[in-house]
Structure 1
Amino acid sequence: MKTQIAILFFFTLFFFENWAQSTVIKGFVSNESGNPVENVSVFYRSKGVVTNTEGYYEILVPSNSQILLNFSHVGYKKLQYEFRLRPGEEIEFSPTLVYKSEEIQEVIVKDKRDEIQGNVTVKTETIKNTPGANQGVESILKTLPGVNFNNELSTQYNVRGGSFDENLIYINGIEVYKPFLIRSGQQEGLSIVNSQMTQNVKFSAGGFQAKYGDKLSSVLDITYRKPEKFGLQFDASLLGFGATIEGLALNNNMQIMVGARYRNNSLFVDQNDTRSNFNPAFTDFQSFITYRFSEKFSMEFLGTASLNDYNFTPFTRKTNFGTLLNPVAVIVDYEGKEEDNYQTLSGALKGTYAFNETLSLELTTSAYYTREQEYYDIIAAYGIGDVNTDLGSDDFGNTDFIQSIGTQQDHARNELEANISNFQAKLNYRKNNRLLELGIKYQNEDFNDRVIEWQMIDSAGFAVRPPNRFPGNDEPYTPYISPIVPYQNVRAFNDVNTQRILGFVQLSDQFFIQDQQFWYNIGIRAQHWIVSGQGLSQVSQTVFSPRAQLTWKPNWQSDMLFRVAGGVYQQPPFYREMRDSLGIVHPEVKAQKSVQIILGNDYSFTMWNRPFKLTTEAFYKKLTEVNPFTIDNVRIRYRAKNNATAYATGFEMRLNGEFVQGTESWFSFGYLKTEENIENRGYISRPTDQRLKFALLFQDYIPAIPNIKMYLNTVYNTGVPGGSPSYADPYDYQNRLKDYFRADLGISYVFKDINTPSKEQWLRSFKSLSAGIEVFNMFDAQNTISNTWVTDVSSNQSFAIPNYLSPRILNVKVSMSL
């Protein structure tokens, strides 16, 4: 590791030394008509730059040497010119390029920076218009090939075989967090990202740069916009509403944007197979304020507050399962209720000072607070019956011969309080295309956690013993005289503190070899953390994570990019990863480690005289020090042991473009295989082993009435392991859930568009106005999120009762802006 640091230090010295002995050539590149030419490669030897949208370039060249400067563009003849400059000399050279004599196709100029870095960018309008049960950024991410899920009500997602906890989310450079106790997608409510406030969305499914944090799987990088004038947005539907107001103040030096949202999931829960009194209320407030003190100094404030109330009183449940030849139904009568509450507050203040055009400094401090409680007492009496399949019977579809199996009582009094605060300094040094970034961060985490939950199961009048206990129940033939104990019982009180020091350094640059353009990024991250707490021995650990990216853009007639990225990615444990299924904290848990390599290609082309792009990637990840986990709905339970190894490999493809002129659509395909080896018992599928993924995001309109828009969001995923009880040995149970298929359709009428003036007098006060309907799960697919297991002692049988997700639902939506 010392060798890696020395190499990086050498690069840094070389970086500054190169600039110190360089002189400047700058100017404009135009064509024979006098118009500026963008994306002209200006290079000598292996160094080069590209002209911007105005045809401007500025390049550093060594002094006191003969320089042959090249100007190259796919649509023009190549130009070369010799220079010899004295130290400190600066000259302007503005050449004119001549068109190539052969006929060429239309050249579509695009910003390649995100493609070069392997990021997927998503338009904010696409996010707002795409239908989904949980509309937002995450709903769009789930249509990408490397992103897997099987719960439309959740904002959680798995990337290339990783868990929910392996994904980074940034808003304006601030890492954000989600509540920790949530165990069901119905409890999550709103996405942490407010789509109305969003300007840019970038997503990387792996191989990301060292400047991003210490996670194994992905980065979602969100940028909120800075308003330029007064504006108001309002969206409303049967699921809730959202409003955002923005404007300028203090001589236009202050930019203010405030958003409020409310959501209620009753529409989904009222349609499932459980009759209940259900009143979930999810409220969210966010603000983003920027103040510019001078041309060099500005400050930003990002604040969020959310309150999630989840009140659930179940009455009865009837679920049909089994086969067509032998249909079975479970009937459940409930007593009791569940009351959950999640409150989160966060605030971040960032100051940016530009010393000059090349050097800038960012100082950021942020704090996150969450208080969560999970209270429930629910008694369920259940029975199994046969479904009447006689088509001529008046009782067709009803349940006959109900056999009472037993009762189950679930109890919880769980509370968690967490404070996370940090301070970060980041230095950026940019000269032409070369960028050096350094950062250091200190973070303090305090968790106060109380876990009290138990479950009692009574079957045929006899208490069912805890799982994996011997001897098992054999009543009434063999009396059981030991004390009655809960089927599952967790009781723990934890007070844990973690302190972290993080740092990174990375260098980005581009260069040319002949007409071939290259871009690279190399960097390294380091983290040292100390875990302590009441009744815990203090443990400290340190990890290093070197990373690199290389992109090659050949000077071919076809517009192609080739990428290779990888490195060592290490994820130090967060609080939830140190807590096992019994609630006990293990401070000695190590960082999970992933060595990964990614190969990618982007092919941009025209079809039907419209732009398209085909992106393909292949990846392999070798994981060590793995902390195995199980997933119950969206709750993760870790073993809190680094006793496994794993791997993930796959291939992904995404074709996007204007299938319908003026719109963007895409088709995604992904193949994934991920397995783990726990305690050298052999490789088995991980809980995230979702083998195949197909997704279609399609936009259309009626040519005769272009104001009528259609949006189709379709996803098919093969089933994941998860059909077995959470306490079961995964080597004995590798049951998979059913395949997941869902199609959401949105149809809207656009009364007025931002870019289209209206002749109607009543529409002139609106910037935009639209109304429409959404059909969720339009084919009424019966998807399963998990199984509820019930045991019949008398027959020594266990039944897996599927927990179905939302059926077909109709929603009405209105959107406007002023």
Structure 2
Amino acid sequence: MRINYSNLCVLPLLLLVFSALDLSAKNSALISGIVVNETNDQPVELAIIRVAGTNVFAESDMEGEFELQVPANVDVNLVVTRLGYHTLEQNIGTLEPGEQRGMNIYIVPTDSDLEVIVRSGRIEEVTMVREQAEKLRFIPSVSGNFESLLSGIALGTYGGTGGELSSQYNVRGGNYDENLVYVNDFEIYRPQLISSSQQEGLSFPNIHLIRDVSFSSGGFQPRYGDKMSSVLDIRYRVPSEFKMGVEASLLGGGIHAEGSGFMGDHGQNRLRYLAGFRYKTTRYLLGTLDVTGEYAPDFYDFQAFLTWDFNPELQLGVIGNYNRSIYSFIPEERSTASGLIDFALQLSSVFEGSQEDDFENYMGGVSLTWLPERVENPLYLKLLASGFQSDENESTDILGFYRLAQIETDIGSEDLGEEIAILGTGTQHTYKRNFLTLRVLNLQHKGGIEFNKLGEESGDRSHFLEWGLGYKREFFDDWINEWERLDSAGYSLPYDGETTNLFEVLKSTNSQYSKRMEGFLQNTYTLYKPGRREWQFAGGLRFNYWDLNRELILSPRFSASLRPLDWDTDMSFRLSTGLYAQPPFYRELRRPDGSLNMDLKAQRSFHIVGGMTWDFGQKTGNRRKYRLITELYYKSLWNLVSYELDNVKISYSGENDARGYVMGLDARLNGEFVPGAESWINLSILRARERLDDVTHLRRELGEPEAKEVKDVPRPSDQLVNVSVFFQDYLPNNENFKMHLNLELGTGLPFGLRGNNRVYRNTYRFSPYHRVDIGFSYLLWDESRRKTNPNSLFRHTRRVWASLEVFNLMQVQNEASKTWIKTIFQTQYAIPNYLTSRRINLRVQVDI
């Protein structure tokens, strides 16, 4: 926010009009000018311009103009407020008696005109981290999905075993299903049958349409839904003029457009639109995997968001999305070596068959927002209706002939790298014919009203009361038929000497329809004492009822924050706590045998989160150079539905059979380590533990003959340390040439023996994940060069960037999962399935 002084807005002297007030005028001065929207330079009406600590205020008219009489010979602080805009505080110094000063006041909208969430406080929402999407567009990303960037911008967030190919993420010891995602208040759903990161296509959020994101890693407010880990709240841009962008790379490309225009006889009806099409293919990356063959992945996404202003108080919003992921694969052969310097294994395989997967998703939504123009007790009411459908098809029939051997590792041996012992040979036949249709209909009403008491001796006070009520109808119809046959040395496993047995079998047919009711009520109270402190308290209650298991859930939540204003340091403190529940969805209901547990209850958790934000360093405008955010947290978990994790596939037990806890520390430091280039460092330390009901967990220490009982075991998402670094720099004499480095480092996630992971649960660890991606970008063209180079090839564009990206710069072999080889003697060997190796990508971005 900024205030620019000028003489252009000084109004004519009004001495004749105010002659009756001559005595008071000798002790006062006059401020006049225009309140302007900083994002589009349009005047803002109904803004309140107030002298802090007094009841003296003025209101801007339809042209944004105002006049305010202020005391002379005293230091004057102005506070400018308007529903839907960030509050502006500015010291204008001392004015002489009778002085008239003109100024333009620029304020920044919190959200688009009527697409607005009313906020009562000046402190950033205590549980959220906010980022502008423009900062993220140059981060090197293999998946191309926005969620893959969250480990850098959000607290306690890290990628799962799917690695760089996946957009799935874990937050503070939870799994991917425990995360909420909203786009412009619409809840976003995703496919359910995806089992490997290679199948994942384009996620819903389109980074080229995003204005800003807010993320909470826990302790979030009642107005957000019923999940146990996190909330990702995305706001799309509010276009004010026509713009267009095109992107192309070796991994795909896309095009997006936006615009705005007034329509109707009086020009009061305004249409805004955002639209984007994306295409992605990963065949170039998948060519670096150990399994060679013909990869043919094709991923498409189209989405649009439109708003229509019927009048200044009423707005219609429409959102639509079509997404399709096609993954085709014909494997040929595989050769993978793993082990230590004294014992190494090599798995060699040849394959027959193919895999054909198709995931098709549709989403549409309509919103109607009413924001009446009223100075006292500002109010907003919003209605939302949305629908989601997913048609998913997995088709796999692959026969693999494998040979597992021990290889020579003695450097002095003539047979170095050669096979010295055959540990097993056989066949592995994997068959899948899985179909799922999922539909969700969501109806919701939400609203808010604000009550202000300004200029009181004790400070400015406000209550912001919010409420919401929602209804959901869910339907799924699945037909699952998958099995796996293992043959070792001519014998089918498990071997009983008489029959041919399948190693794993899952066959089921389910069709289920259910209804949910949910709602919330919360109040945010803010107390602001100019020059001293600012308090904010938010508390409320959320409820959820599901007719399938007839369970009513009540979730009280509370948060508090404090920002001292009389300290030399710019710091704020926050505390949040509450009960959180996660009612079952499709995957949690399904037992390993395919049957549904209709009595499955919601998973429950209790959060307590304490945090601090410290802005320090040189101040530019209203912002410090650096920001440090730290949070300590503890989560108690019960009624858990235990699960196994294989690549990105989450297989639930279908029972409330576990308890656990998570505790940890998160820290984030961001700022301009190089002037004009934002960078950040994220550090997360956590401990996530669980205990299965009626199970005595054991652990065998290395060198100990007997196993020992342990009170808890690692959860599948237990990652002790995770570090994420994004650093930007540019050439000292040429800021158009930039470097973007992205580093991910994390300790290994736990896993256990396949088919026997209960007593000795999650006793092993994957290798630590570490990866460096680097990009180099050069600004080929900027519209400021049109005068000096009017005949340029790019003269009709605003900017043109060219980038060279190197993925997995250090060529590290990170693990996605394990292939289990079982011999006839029941010995199991875990062979790693590695993620992608080094690749170079070329990317061009054109802004029109």
TM bucket, shorter chain: 0.7 to 0.9
Out of 567, 570, 593, the position equivalent to 1:582 is 593
- Give the aligned partner of residue 41 of structure 1: none
Out of 671, 675, 680, the position equivalent to 1:661 is 675
SS in 1 for 2:311: coil
SS in 1 for 2:645: strand
Asked whether the 8 Å contact 1:116–1:519 carries over to 2, the reply is no
Shift of 1:79: 8.4
Change (3 A) 1:787 1:294: same
Shift of 1:250: 5.6
Q: Matched residues in 1 for 2:131 and 2:180: separation?
A: 17
Asked whether the 8 Å contact 2:342–2:410 carries over to 1, the reply is no
Q: Matched residues in 1 for 2:445 and 2:762: separation?
A: 48
Out of 495, 500, 508, the position equivalent to 2:516 is 500
Shift of 1:512: 3.9
1:788 aligns with 2:800: no
1:330 aligns with 2:347: yes
- Give the aligned partner of residue 380 of structure 1: 400
Asked whether the 8 Å contact 2:148–2:166 carries over to 1, the reply is no
1:380-779 matches, within 5 Å, as: 380-387=400-407, 397=417, 405-432=425-452, 433-465=462-494, 473=495, 480-481=497-498, 483-512=499-528, 515-531=532-548, 539-554=549-564, 555-606=566-617, 611-680=625-694, 681=696, 682-722=711-751, 724-725=753-754, 728-729=757-758, 731-753=760-782, 759-761=788-790, 762=792, 763-779=794-810
Change (3 A) 1:773 1:96: closer
Q: Matched residues in 1 for 2:479 and 2:218: separation?
A: 35
1:297 aligns with 2:314: yes
Residue-by-residue CA offset, 1:645-698 (whole Å, 9 max, x unaligned): 110000111111110000111111111001011115331110000010111110
Asked whether the 8 Å contact 2:715–2:762 carries over to 1, the reply is no
1:355-370 matches, within 5 Å, as: 355-357=372-374, 358-370=378-390
SS in 2 for 1:627: strand
Shift of 1:701: 0.5
| TM-score normalised by structure 1 residue count | 0.83
- Give the aligned partner of residue 812 of structure 1: 842
- Give the letter for the 2:438 counterpart: A
Q: Matched residues in 2 for 1:53 and 1:699: separation?
A: 39
Change (3 A) 1:398 1:817: farther
- Give the letter for the 1:640 counterpart: G
Identify which range, 758-767 or 628-637, moves more after superposition: 758-767
Change (3 A) 1:755 1:115: farther
SS in 1 for 2:778: strand
Change (3 A) 1:757 1:643: farther
Identify which range, 170-179 or 718-727, moves more after superposition: 718-727
Q: Matched residues in 2 for 1:701 and 1:191: separation?
A: 31
Asked whether the 8 Å contact 1:723–1:786 carries over to 2, the reply is no
Shift of 1:731: 2.5
- Give the letter for the 2:432 counterpart: A
Residue-by-residue CA offset, 1:342-364 (whole Å, 9 max, x unaligned): 00001000001123431221111
Q: Matched residues in 1 for 2:787 and 2:341: separation?
A: 57
Shift of 1:305: 0.3
Q: Matched residues in 1 for 2:574 and 2:785: separation?
A: 40
1:236-247 matches, within 5 Å, as: 236-247=248-259
Asked whether the 8 Å contact 2:148–2:168 carries over to 1, the reply is no
Change (3 A) 1:399 1:708: farther
1:162-177 matches, within 5 Å, as: 162-177=174-189
SS in 1 for 2:547: strand
SS in 2 for 1:759: coil
SS in 2 for 1:196: coil
- Give the letter for the 1:135 counterpart: G
SS in 2 for 1:272: coil
- Give the letter for the 2:391 counterpart: R
Identify which range, 276-285 or 147-156, moves more after superposition: 147-156
Change (3 A) 1:816 1:595: same
Residue-by-residue CA offset, 1:675-725 (whole Å, 9 max, x unaligned): 011115331110000010111110110112211111011010101112532
Identity %: 34
Asked whether the 8 Å contact 2:544–2:554 carries over to 1, the reply is yes
SS in 2 for 1:441: strand
Q: Matched residues in 1 for 2:180 and 2:186: separation?
A: 10
Change (3 A) 1:259 1:751: same
SS in 1 for 2:208: helix
Shift of 1:253: 1.3
SS in 1 for 2:201: coil
CA RMSD of aligned residues (A): 3.0
Shift of 1:334: 0.7
1:115 aligns with 2:135: no
Q: Matched residues in 2 for 1:35 and 1:294: separation?
A: 28
Change (3 A) 1:586 1:272: same
Asked whether the 8 Å contact 1:719–1:738 carries over to 2, the reply is yes
Shift of 1:269: 0.9
Identify which range, 580-589 or 142-151, moves more after superposition: 142-151
- Give the aligned partner of residue 277 of structure 2: 260
Q: Matched residues in 2 for 1:378 and 1:671: separation?
A: 41
Aligned residues: 720
Out of 332, 337, 346, the position equivalent to 1:320 is 337
Out of 347, 362, 365, the position equivalent to 1:348 is 365
Q: Matched residues in 2 for 1:623 and 1:391: separation?
A: 50
1:187 aligns with 2:207: no
Residue-by-residue CA offset, 1:194-252 (whole Å, 9 max, x unaligned): 01111111111011111110011100001111221111101111000011022235627
SS in 2 for 1:781: coil
1:196 aligns with 2:190: no
Q: Matched residues in 2 for 1:334 and 1:126: separation?
A: 45
Shift of 1:254: 1.0
Residue-by-residue CA offset, 1:734-760 (whole Å, 9 max, x unaligned): 111111001110101112347887733
Change (3 A) 1:727 1:493: farther
Change (3 A) 1:77 1:342: farther
Asked whether the 8 Å contact 1:612–1:655 carries over to 2, the reply is yes
Shift of 1:291: 0.6
Q: Unaligned 5+ residue runs, structure 2?
A: 1-27, 36-45, 56-72, 78-89, 96-106, 111-120, 264-268, 453-461, 697-710
Shift of 1:462: 0.9
Q: Unaligned 5+ residue runs, structure 1?
A: 1-30, 39-51, 62-75, 81-93, 100-108, 466-472, 474-478, 532-538
Asked whether the 8 Å contact 1:722–1:786 carries over to 2, the reply is no
Shift of 1:508: 1.1
